[in-house]
Amino acid sequence: MVTRRAEAAGGAGATVDEGPAVQDHYPADAAHCYGCGARNPFGHHLKTRWADGSRTETITRFTPGPEQTAMPGYVYGGLVASVLDCSGTGSAALAGTHAAGLDLEGDGSLRYVTGTLEVRYQRPTPMSVELVVRGRVEEVKGRKVTVALTMTAGEDEVASGRVVALQLPDEMRSS
C-alpha cells in the first residue's frame, strides 16, 4: 500500500510519508523488537518510511502517552532515545535494502541492529504531542549504515542524534 500523508500544519511543508513502512517488511524471525517489531504486543510499533523520492530522507512518527512521563507534561528521555534508535535502524533498513538493489515489497527488508546511538536532548519534550523523527542517510558502507536524526514536537526541535547500524548478526537471529 502506498501512503502519502501531508506534513502536519506548521511542519516542513514539502515532506510527505512515501511508500510502505519498512517494519511491515521485516522478516518474521526478526520482528520482535520493542521499538519497531510488529510481533511485539507491548512495543512502540514504529513505522519508518521514505520521506520523499530522493531515497535519503526518512520519517517516523510516534505519540507518547502518560506512562512515558519524566516530569508531569514531559516525556521520559529513555523513550526519546528509544524512538530515535528504532527510527535509525528503520532508516538503515530502508537505505541498506535499497542500496542492495532489493525491492522492499517483493524481497523484504534487510535487518539492522544498533551499533552506536548518540542523543542530544535539546528541549523538554512535551507529552501527548506527535513526535516526528526525520532521518538523513549519511553513508551506506558494506554492512554499516549511518543515519542523522532530528525529532520535532510541533514547531520545536526537541532532540537530535545519530545511529550507526550494522546488519543483524546471525547470532541474534531466532532459530
Ligand X SMILES: CCCCCCCC(=O)SCCNC(=O)CCNC(=O)[C@H](O)C(C)(C)COP(=O)(O)OP(=O)(O)OC[C@H]1O[C@@H](n2cnc3c(N)ncnc32)[C@H](O)[C@@H]1OP(=O)(O)O
Binding site for ligand X (CB under 6 A): 30, 33, 35, 85-86, 89, 111, 113-116, 141-144, 164, 166, 168-169, 172
CA distance 168 to 9: 37
User: Quick one: 51 or 163, whose CB is closer to ligand X?
Assistant: 163
Q: From the CB of 104, what's the least distance to ligand X, in Å?
A: 17
Q: From the CB of 75, what's the least distance to ligand X, in Å?
A: 19
User: Quick one: 123 or 141, whose CB is closer to ligand X?
Assistant: 141
User: Quick one: 10 or 142, whose CB is closer to ligand X?
Assistant: 142
User: Quick one: 101 or 169, whose CB is closer to ligand X?
Assistant: 169
User: Quick one: 127 or 151, whose CB is closer to ligand X?
Assistant: 151
Which long-range contacts does 27-31 make (Cβ < 8 Å, 24+ apart)? 27/108, 27/109, 27/111, 29/173, 29/174, 30/111, 30/168, 30/172, 30/173, 30/174
Q: From the CB of 53, what's the least distance to ligand X, in Å?
A: 26
Q: From the CB of 88, what's the least distance to ligand X, in Å?
A: 8
CA distance 126 to 74: 5
Name the nearest CA neighbour of 5 among 50, 66, 55: 50
Q: Where are the alpha helices (DSSP H) in 24-159?
A: 77-99, 104-107
Q: From the CB of 118, what's the least distance to ligand X, in Å?
A: 10
Residue 88 corresponds to which cell in the numbers above?
535509525
* Residue showing cell 530515535: 84
User: Of all residues in this chain, which one has the CB nearest to ligand X in the complex?
Assistant: 115
